[in-house]
Structures are given as structure tokens and as C-alpha cells.
Amino acid sequence: MDKLKMHSPDLSQDNIAKIREMFPGCVTEARDEATGAVRLAVDFDQLRQELSDHIVDGPQERYRLDWPGKREALLLANAPIAKTILPDRKSSLNFDDTKNLLISGDNLEALKLLQSTFLGQVKVIYIDPPYNTGSDFIYNDDFSDTAESYLRKSNQKTEDGHCLVANTEANGRFHSDWLTMIYSRLKLARNLLADDGVIFVSISDEESANMKRLLDEVFGEKNFIDTIAVEMSTTSGPKTVNAQQGTIVKNVEFVHVFRKSEKFDRIRHTPLFDSVTSFDTHYTAWLNDDGTLSTLAEKMREDNLVGRDIEQYGFLNRNAFSVKSIDRLLSVSDSAKEFIEKNLEKIARLDRPPVSAAGQSTALGHWKDFKTDHRTYYLTTLENGTLQALMPLSLNYRMSDDYKPKFGRTVIRGDLWKGFYQDMGNVAKEGGVSFSNGKKPVRLIKQLMKWANNTRDGIVLDFFAGSGTTAHAVFEANAEDGYNRKFIMVQLDETPDQKSSAANEGYETIADLSAERIRRAGKKTADGECHADWNRDIGFRMLRVDTSNMKDVYYRPDELKQSDLPGMVDNVKEGRTAEDLLFQVLVDWGVDLTLPIRRETIKDGSGQGKTVFFVDDNALVACFDRGVTEDLVKELAGHEPLRVVFRDTGFASDDVKINVEQIFRQLSPTTEVKSI
């Protein structure tokens, strides 16, 4: 019976396997001198011949982003880890039914553990990593430690949690450490993104240029979509003094947007609209019901109330009023505003006609309908004989996507996202928890998802979750449009700064604060007005990254002492539960971590009860109890599961162990049988 690996995948070996698919002759097997294990290895001499002269080698000049530690970062990203994620039912909400995950732990480890399960599954990644401002980022990729204990041990933090050393510019590796940290994570994150997926990365000007180059490298320059400038503050308060003294103060942050592949472009993205108060003076035409054309100015002059206001508000000669001065009139006349809004379908501007309208014409000063491509156009012919389309003002009037949405004239938003300083004024209150480390507005993430329009019921991942704004945005977006997006949040189990309100409020870790925000945000969203199609999944499975459930002997059975009888040594660490083992098996086998889990006690032939887990009925069946009999094995085979797993030392006798595979081959031949 094959044993599960119980460690995250070795991504270097996976990469070599990909090379083998293309160039089978370039991959061979070689003995690793350090461990003695035989592994796949690339025969570079052979590969060189395949690629003829098109190779950059040695010190030859080339275009690339480089820094001390880049190689290390790649090794770090690809190396397997013997870790797991343990379920924490107590901190979860609706553990058994939810499809959402909150993972507490280092995201490098979490991303590794998610590789098999979520490969190519994630539709949207939003991250808001430390900006490397000199105080928000401490480099720590010591896998066996949490940031906190690492900092204590390396004397960077006192016992009471006070931070002594951050990544300051005086550190010679200021940018390099930050790049190393983010590079390895982006490499792993890319594997999880679906082909029609997109990643949004928030960043400020400190590392924006480096982040862009890094994303170019990881996702490919051709997959760069845009850099959005988000107006996060205005020049007010203390910034005014600096500005008065000649400083260019910061008002914007950036969001770099990259797609996984061109498949993302096949989706129709949803434009966002900003309201504008000024009137677009191109709208001069008026479509009369009888098919003739007038001008808007004429119609306003003729209207009793509007005409009166034109005179009353100093436009002296009513007959000279033209749309050039319409903004002035609209700023004082409610009648004029009402008149415009009542006649959105009649007021129009000239535009190019659709190609399919070629050959059409109208009488001078007249308009007519023209239906094409499931749309109706209004056509007219100008004095010089050219055909034009008349675009009604109604196409331009809608609810805006502003902080306070308004119905009115709008413009399509480009890559300048204005007005988010208004959200920032209220951001501290959003989600009902205080978090001072760069909390982002819910609207920002919601609108990024809305624009991408690729999620529907897909997965949204944020592996620098902070207070969990992305989860909150998923709830609100689902409540509005009725989709059933799911989220995976990852947040370091970092102790909040002693002076922070998070510490005052008693949160042991930032991940616990994220959990609380998700609980509050979910309840508030579900209590409000919700789309009928939303499944109202406001729960989450809390999982914690921890050391493997397996003792070292599991990974190095050769080191067993002569006196230890094989099969008698328990290879599971003390204190780990059967459900802990189940989750490590799910991770290892790449089974969805959000599937429903049923626990049953099944009596074997001797009448003894054994605990059996059924994951999504038959996706995986697991029994980690001891004394498993042939009867029980037969009963489980009767369920015809896709996968079944037992504890290697869990069988009633050696005979049962030997017969397990035979029993499954007879009763359920498609079941994969493994042990731990």
C-alpha cells in the first residue's frame, strides 16, 4: 500500500517533470549526493543542444531584475515543507457547511500547502502586502518559527513584544529582503491562479517600481493590464503645511493589475462609472416624437418654468440662451435639472453611426430608428450628406460607483480611481474592528472584483489578509449581485503591537482579529438587504498552519533502531486528533479543503465502533483507528470511495494489512488506497 508523502509538493521536481514533457531526452535520474535519494535531474548539456545557441549564460549582459537573495527566494518557493494545517473548529463559523477558509500562519507555508488542492482554481487574488516603509516589514523566513518568536530569539523584539528592529533603510538589504519575501510568495500564488484569473496588488510609491518589475517577471510582461492610481487622501490637515512649504504630498497609492493569461480578456469586464456634475455640451439635439429634430436650447427656452428661470437668473435675453451656458443655469435652477432628467431619451449628441448603417439616409432635419446588433440607433443625415447616429443622454445617465452613488451624468472610470479618500475617512469603522496596519476600503476590493467580472462562484484569495477586508468585500459583493464567491484568507499569527487597539481589545493574534471582523461583517451583510440568489454563506473554516502530524520516523523510516519493530512504532505525534490527520491527508492528496465532512462510528465484525470520516460522501473515506478488521475494510469498500486512507499501524493483523488492496480491487477497483 502506498504511503502518503505528508509534505507539501517539491516544486523543483514538478518543474523538471514539465521540462521532461517537452524534452524527454534532457531529463534523467541522478543520485542526490547529500541525501542519497534518486531524483529527476536536468541534463543541461543535452538541453543546450536542443536550444542551440539561444542561451544567455554566465556574466553575459541581459535585461532582468536582480538582487542578492533572488536565488534563495526561488529555492525557498520550490522546497517542500513537512507542515500541515490543523482545523480549529472553535474559532470557525459554520465549520461543516461553509466554503470559505481563513488560514492563520505564514503565507509562504500556507501557499505551499494549498498548491495541490487549489492549483489553477483561484479567480481573483487581491493582496496588500507590507509596503516596506521602514516600519511595516520584518524579514523572517525561518519556517520553524512564528515571526514573534523569531524576533525574540534574534533580539529584535523584547519579551513584552516591543519591536526593536524593523527593515530600515540603514539595513544594507532594505530592498533585497523585501523583494526576496514577496518574490517567493508571488511565484507560488501564480500557480493557484486560474487561466482566466487576475491578480491585483496594492502598493505605494516606496516599492511600486520594484513590484511592477517583479510582477512582470512572475506573470509575464504581456499579462500586465494596468496600474491604477487610487486617490487615498487629499491635501488637508497636516499635509497642507508640508504642501505649503513646497513638498509634493502623497495623495495616491497604486494597484498593479496582471492577468494569468489572455483567457482573462475573453470575459466582458464591467465598466465603472464616476459621476460628473458638469453638463456635456455636445448634447445639443432634441428628438421630436414626429421624427423631426430641434435643439435642446430651443426646447428649454420654450418651457415655461425653465424659460422663466433663464430670465430670472440673469441670462437677460431668453432667446440668446444656448447650451454653452447650461452649467450656469443648472447650478441655480431646479426646473432646468428636472427638465433634463425628464427628457433623457430626447436629448442627444451626434456620434459615428454603426458600420452596418452604411447606405441608410434620412431627410434633412429628421431622424429615424435603425435596429442592428440587438440595439436601436437613431440616425440622421447632416447638410453635407454624412450619416450620423444620435446618442441619447439616457445612455450617459445612471447610478454612479462613487462613495455616495448618485443617479446622474457619469463618465467611464479609467485608471484614475478618484475619491477613495472619502472611504478612508470612514475605513476605521468598516467591519467593526480597529486595525491600524493599512486597512483598505471595502469598496476598493469590491469594485476591483466587479470590474474583473470573472468570479461568479469562484475563489477570491488574499494572503496578506490583515483585518480581512477582502472577505468582507466578498460578502458584500455576493449580497449585491447574488453570486456565490468563496474566499481564502491567509494571515500571519502575529501578535498585535502592545500599544495597538487590537492588543487593547484582547486579540492574541492578528489572525484572531481577522476572524472577528469576518464574523461581524458576515452578520451585518446577511442582516441587510441581500440578493435572493446569494447562498448567504457567511461562515469560514479556521485552519492553522502547524508542524506535521507525523513524527520524524515517518519521513526517515531507515533511521529506525534495530530494536524497533517496524509497524509497531507510532508515527503520529501525541496530541494530534483524527481530524488533524484527516486535514493533512486532504492537503497531501489535493482534496478540496471545503468539502463537507461526516464523521460516523461504524461497528466492525467484533462489535467494536470505529471512527470513519466521509469527505463529501465518497471523495475520500478515512479511518485512523487501530484494530481495523477485514469486515470494516469490506464495509468501506462497499461505499466505493474515490480514495481511502488508513493508518499504517492501524490494522488488526498483518494479514488484514496485506489483504486491503486485494479487497478494494475486488469490491471497488477504482478506489485509490493509501496509508499514513
Ligand X SMILES: C[S@@+](CC[C@H](N)C(=O)[O-])C[C@H]1O[C@@H](n2cnc3c(N)ncnc32)[C@H](O)[C@@H]1O
Q: Which stretch binds ligand X (CB under 6 A): 3-11, 317-325, 431-439, 495-503?
A: 431-439
Binding test (CB under 6 A) with ligand X, winner from 494, 580, 588, 604: 494
Query: Taking CB under 6 A as the rule, does residue 625 contact ligand X?
Result: no
Query: Taking CB under 6 A as the rule, does residue 469 contact ligand X?
Result: yes
Give me the DSSP letters along 31-42: E-TTT--EEEEE
Residue 39, φ and ψ in degrees, nearest 5: -135, 165
Q: Which stretch binds ligand X (CB under 6 A): 1-9, 374-382, 459-467, 579-587?
A: 459-467
Interface mask (CB under 6 A) for ligand X, residues 59-98, using x and -?
----------------------------------------
Total residue count of the chain as it appears in this document: 676
Kindly list the distances between the CA atom of residue 640 and the CA atoms of 110, 601, 615, 664, 667, in Å, as whole numbers in the listed order: 31, 18, 13, 9, 8
Query: Taking CB under 6 A as the rule, does residue 439 contact ligand X?
Result: yes
Tell the residue number behind the cell numbers 497609492, with chain if given.
Answer: 253
Q: How far is the CB of 250 from ligand X (least distance, A)?
A: 16
Give me the DSSP letters along 138-189: -----TTS-HHHHHHHTTSB-TT--B-----TTSTTHHHHHHHHHHHHHHHH
Sign of CA dihedral 67, 72, 73, 78: positive
Q: How far is the CB of 441 from ligand X (least distance, A)?
A: 8
Instruction: Kindly state the cell numbers that stand for 5.
Output: 508523502
Q: Which stretch binds ligand X (CB under 6 A): 231-239, 261-269, 351-359, 432-440?
A: 432-440
Identity of residue 607: G
Binding test (CB under 6 A) with ligand X, winner from 440, 485, 486, 519: 440
Q: Which stretch binds ligand X (CB under 6 A): 70-78, 266-274, 332-340, 491-499?
A: 491-499
Instruction: Kindly state the cell numbers that stand for 484.
Output: 456565490
# residues contacting ligand X (CB under 6 A):
18
Residue 221, φ and ψ in degrees, nearest 5: -55, -35
Of 112 and 349, CB closest to ligand X: 112
Cα of 501 vs its chain's centroid, Å: 27
Of 408 and 441, CB closest to ligand X: 441
Residue 28, φ and ψ in degrees, nearest 5: -135, 180
Binding test (CB under 6 A) with ligand X, winner from 9, 353, 392, 466: 466
Query: Taking CB under 6 A as the rule, does residue 490 contact ligand X?
Result: yes
Q: How far is the CB of 548 from ligand X (least distance, A)?
A: 19
Cα separation, 408 vs 277, in Å, equals 8
Of 305 and 503, CB closest to ligand X: 503
Cα separation, 226 vs 265, in Å, equals 13
Binding test (CB under 6 A) with ligand X, winner from 113, 228, 492, 542: 492
Asked whether 268 and 453 are in contact (CB, 8 A), the reply is yes
Q: Which of 525, 524, 540, 447 minimizes the C-alpha distance to 490?
A: 540
Q: How far is the CB of 448 from ligand X (least distance, A)?
A: 12
Here the contacts of 504-513 (C-beta below 8 Å, separation 24 or greater) are 505/433, 505/434, 509/104, 510/435, 510/437, 510/466, 510/467, 511/102, 511/104, 511/105, 511/465, 512/91, 512/104, 513/433, 513/435, 513/467
Q: Which stretch binds ligand X (CB under 6 A): 91-99, 163-171, 249-257, 465-473?
A: 465-473
Q: Which stretch binds ligand X (CB under 6 A): 487-495, 496-504, 609-617, 619-627?
A: 487-495
Query: Taking CB under 6 A as the rule, does residue 176 contact ligand X?
Result: no
Interface mask (CB under 6 A) for ligand X, residues 574-613, using x and -?
----------------------------------------
Cα separation, 584 vs 598, in Å, equals 17
Of 509 and 571, CB closest to ligand X: 509
Q: How far is the CB of 485 from ligand X (least distance, A)?
A: 17
Query: Taking CB under 6 A as the rule, does residue 413 contact ligand X?
Result: no
Identity of residue 287: L
Q: How far is the CB of 351 from ligand X (least distance, A)?
A: 41
User: Could you say which residues in the range 360-389 bind ligand X, by CB under 6 A?
Assistant: none
Radius of gyration of the chain (CA): 32
**DSSP-based three-state secondary structure for 614:** strand
Q: How far is the CB of 269 from ligand X (least distance, A)?
A: 23
Interface mask (CB under 6 A) for ligand X, residues 528-547, using x and -?
--------------------
Instruction: Kindly state the cell numbers that stand for 651.
Output: 490494522
Binding test (CB under 6 A) with ligand X, winner from 9, 307, 419, 438: 438
Binding test (CB under 6 A) with ligand X, winner from 333, 362, 491, 671: 491
Tell the residue number behind the cell numbers 422663466, with chain if given.
Answer: 308
Could you tell me where the beta strands, DSSP code E, fall in 422-485? 459-462
Cα separation, 561 vs 181, in Å, equals 40
Interface mask (CB under 6 A) for ligand X, residues 100-139, using x and -?
------xx--------------------x-x---------
Q: How far is the CB of 512 from ligand X (least distance, A)?
A: 12
Kindly list the distances between the CA atom of residue 650 and the CA atoms of 572, 605, 636, 675, in Å, as whole numbers in the listed order: 11, 16, 15, 9
**DSSP-based three-state secondary structure for 641:** coil
Query: Taking CB under 6 A as the rule, does residue 196 contact ligand X?
Result: no
Query: Taking CB under 6 A as the rule, does residue 258 contact ligand X?
Result: no
Cα separation, 532 vs 555, in Å, equals 50
Query: Taking CB under 6 A as the rule, does residue 509 contact ligand X?
Result: no
Query: Taking CB under 6 A as the rule, does residue 156 contact ligand X?
Result: no
Query: Taking CB under 6 A as the rule, does residue 510 contact ligand X?
Result: yes
Q: Which stretch binds ligand X (CB under 6 A): 206-214, 256-264, 430-438, 589-597?
A: 430-438
Query: Taking CB under 6 A as the rule, does residue 206 contact ligand X?
Result: no
Q: Treating both helix axes as pointing N-terminal to C-terminal, what angle do 174-192 and 208-219 enclose, rounded to 10 degrees?
A: 40
Of 432 and 482, CB closest to ligand X: 432
Cα separation, 573 vs 582, in Å, equals 14
Of 232 and 490, CB closest to ligand X: 490
Half-sphere exposure of 388 (CA within 13 A, CB side): 19
Query: Taking CB under 6 A as the rule, does residue 512 contact ligand X?
Result: no
Of 349 and 472, CB closest to ligand X: 472
Query: Taking CB under 6 A as the rule, does residue 146 contact ligand X?
Result: no
Tell the residue number behind the cell numbers 485509490, with chain if given.
Answer: 672
Q: Which of 591, 448, 491 minimizes the C-alpha distance to 124?
A: 448
Q: How far is the CB of 432 from ligand X (least distance, A)?
A: 13
Q: Which stretch binds ligand X (CB under 6 A): 46-54, 85-93, 406-414, 462-470?
A: 462-470
Q: Exposure of 14 by Cβ count < 10 A (0-12 exposed, 13-18 middle, 19+ buried)?
A: middle
Binding test (CB under 6 A) with ligand X, winner from 437, 611, 629, 649: 437
**544: β partners:** 86, 104
Nearest residue to the partner ligand X, using Cβ: 466
Identity of residue 189: A
Q: Which stretch binds ligand X (CB under 6 A): 404-412, 489-497, 525-533, 648-656?
A: 489-497
* Site of interaction with ligand X (CB under 6 A): 106-107, 128, 130, 435, 437-440, 464, 466-467, 469, 490-492, 494, 510
